[in-house]
Structure 1
Amino acid sequence: MVANRSVRLRALGVVCGLAVLVSPVPSATAQDGDIAVAPGVSYRPLALSTSHGPVVGHLVTVDLTDPRADLGLLQPGSVAAKDEIADQANGAGAVAGINGDFFNISEEHPGVVPTSASVGPEIGGGEALKGAVPHGQRFGPALPEGASHEDVFALGFDRRARISRLAVAGAVLGPTGVVDVAGLNQYALPVGGVGAYTGDWGEVSRARAVCGTDENRSAPCSTATEEIVITDGVVRSEADVPGTGPIPPRTVVLVGREDGAAQLEALDPGDPVVVRTTLLPADGVPLTFAVGAMPIMREGVPLPGLDTAELAPRTAAGISPDGRRVHLLVADGRSPVSTGLNLQETADLMASLGAADAVNLDGGGSTTMAVRTPDTPHATVRNAPSDGEQRQVPNGIGVFTR
């Protein structure tokens, strides 16, 4: 097991003097200082001593062998929406939560408003909600070797956490033939592709979907576009540019660019159309929930090429070898009392906790953990967000108890 011997871990719980070298801690079982949050769920503040200064962290551990403990998606109600993690956790009835995927936080295209939609795939309650944007349209650090823009932190119906990979699969069946669907509720579509948008998308304009290219997020928006509105299996309207506003029940909006737009232009109002979309897991295991994530460790070994320079607030999730124990971690940064971690240190810390696989989630000002303990009626923020307050984010990982 790989570990960074310049990092030390101290529990700030009942036994404040407990000192444990982060290298190596083979067991992630409960220790003195853990706070019991719910059956199978514990919380622990951490203090890290590093070669670059102190780091304050917070850890929630979930034991999925306890049938009362569960993981699920936190979301503000639609894909293209955002809210604070504490509000998302309390609204969903979660006992704990951390922020999730990177998202469309800024925009390079004049007149186009950021959607706030996340970068990667998303599954909630077993339902496919969105696919991954093209690799060049991502926000977040460069992916390490072996990682993909379609990677997710997920929970299978087998109640085992895992790093999986989700690809959009879909088709439009109409009188003119079959049109492939390459996107689902995404803020960016592949060049030449067609995307499907449902009520899960929300009210935000779909104009961003045709901007940039598969390699360049800042490339100009396409002018060869088409939008088709389908309700109850019938084409109701068409337009030359993507629209805005809520998508009604039993309605699917198709947006195409370049070749995809040309294919959609063959459809006319009144045409009968069937639209099918799903997210296919690479390992074939059906998932109850998934959130886009960047792998940083597999089988106990950090992925090659992880950054060792940039110190920042970090949010991460680690998985035990059998997938039955999950560690949710936040580390504060950008302050005198907490310098932050680099990606290599984040992976090493997860390895020291007994994780075999780990992912990096959105960090910086997004890093947030909210926890409800026996002495608090609601989940409250436990870390110190670097913006001075919670940042509104599009999704997160929620911890639930039955």
Structure 2
Amino acid sequence: MILRRLLCAAVPAGLALSIAAAPAPAATPTASSPGSAATDALPLGVATLPETRTSTTLARGVTLTRIVRGATPAAPEDIATTDEGPWVVNTLTIEPAAARGRLVATYGPDLARTESVSDLVGFTGGLIGTNASFFTFTASAQYPGDPVGLGVFEGTLLSEPTTDPAEEDVVFDGQSGRMVFGKVQWSGSAVDRRTGATVTINAVNHPPGATGETDWITPEFGARTPSGPGAEVVLDRRGCVVRTSWTTRGTALSAGQSAVQATGPEVTALQAVAGPTTCLTLRQSVEDAVGNRLPLTPKTYGVNGRYRLTEDGRVVAPVGTGSFFGRNPRTLMGRTAEGTIVLATIDGRMTSSVGTTIAETAAVARSLGLVDAVNLDGGGSTTMATAAGPVNTPSGSGNVQRPVGDALVWVPGR
């Protein structure tokens, strides 16, 4: 089961206050000299830009570093094109062998709703975190937190990967730090345990499409299942049918209950399998990009991104046009050759930090030593925060945090 402890932030008060009050923690900065060819300098803008780095140890094996490249605020009309910056990058490095704790992905009380990164850090009793996956987002959506792509939480797949070729996933062991990058492959079916009859499951925890789809809705989705025309079979905690509706969807679930919903021609297929005495099992196949089975344990988490940035030390980000490929705030996740996990945010759409293109983001990932890295949700979602507030500067109106679908959070402890 996903974490259900609504806790106050497990952050030492002094640390939380210093981060909230001063995004650049007090420490001795290091500067790359103008014109130097230091490999540590970010590959952004002209080579002569000044760059400072300020690092703070948050816990054993966990370090926060703020990088500021460029010193002159950009003119608003030049944000998309300037080679003078400035850029503000915050990196969180986690050394699994030294750190005492775990990296988790969490969605909060349920999948259907959204919460700020600060709230999600507090929800897990975490130290610090970033936003993670792409999600439905739109304010008019009935279920704005609904993940758009892979979501694995404490070893349970609660959202399947999409067929979008741009989706790139990260599956990781929160304790050891082992990470698998690439597009996860998934298939599912509901099986009658008595007869062996099956029906294909098209998705997990999403409202089924109107043209015909069968989806499994787990208890983690929310207190009510998605509503609309179609069929719904409600199951108890053993997977046995407790009630059916063949014309409409949407009902309150009791503790432990789940549901199977169908629309269009798939209603008939569900009726053929789900009788009044039927008990169903959800069977899923979860494999990596080359077809190897991905074992899911209670320490396994998975999030979705859009576009691989680096692979085996090579920049592999695609060339593209349009607003997504242009300069935006960015959040990325990756690992070094030594196994260090890095989460990073790049502020953008501001005169104080102009953001990065996909190509520039990949170059930053490589310069940070990330042999494998993925571009996570960005734009107004880009946030690094403690429970006390953001460490970076979100780009939304008033620089407030945008509620997001899930977050990556470092939780201290054994």
TM-score category of the 2 structures, normalised to the smaller one: 0.7 to 0.9
Identify the residue that residue 54 of structure 2 maps to in structure 1.
33
Matching residue within 227, 232, 242 for 1:227: 232
Per the alignment, residue 291 of structure 1 pairs with 303
Cα gap change, 1:134 to 1:260, in 2 (>3 Å): farther
Contact 2:309 2:365 in 1 (8 A): no
Q: Offset at 1:242?
A: 5.2
Superposed, 1:29-178 pairs within 5 Å as: 33-49=54-70, 51=83, 53-66=85-98, 68-106=100-138, 113-135=142-164, 147-149=165-167, 151-156=168-173, 159-174=177-192, 175=195, 177-178=197-198
Q: In the alignment, which of 304, 308, 315 is matched to residue 302 of structure 1? A: 315
Worse-superposed segment, 335-344 or 46-55 = 46-55
- What SS does the corresponding residue of 1:290 show, helix, strand or coil? strand
Which of these residues, 386, 392, 400, is aligned with residue 395 of structure 2? 386
Q: Give 1:315 shift.
A: 0.8
Look up the match of 2:203.
183
Distance 1:22 1:262 in 2: 67
In the alignment, structure 2 segments of 5+ residues that lack a partner are 1-23, 42-51, 71-81
State the Cα distance separating 1:277 from its structure 2 match: 3.7
1:396 aligns with 2:407: yes
Distance of aligned partners of 1:57 and 1:67 in 2 relative to their CA distance in 1, 3 Å threshold: closer
Structure 2 equivalent of residue 257 of structure 1: 263
The one of 229, 248, 252 equivalent to 2:254 is 248
- 1:239 aligned partner: 245
Identity of aligned residues (%): 22
Distance in 2 between residues matched to 1:77 and 1:89, nearest whole Å: 12
Which residue matches 2:78? none
Select the residue among 314, 328, 333 that pairs with 1:317: 333
Distance in 2 (CA, whole Å) between partners of 1:397 and 1:66 is 19
One-letter amino acid of the counterpart of residue 263, structure 2:
R
Residues 13, 278 of structure 1: alpha-carbon distance in 2 compared, 3 angstrom cutoff: farther
What letter corresponds to residue 385 of structure 2 in structure 1?
A
Tell me the equivalent position of 2:44: none
Q: Name the aligned partner's letter for residue 286 of structure 1.
A: P
Equivalenced residues, count: 352
Task: State the TM-score, normalized to the length of structure 2.
Answer: 0.76
Structure 1, unmatched stretches of 5+, are 1-10, 136-146, 209-222, 372-377
Segment of structure 1 superposing worse, 171-180 or 293-302: 171-180
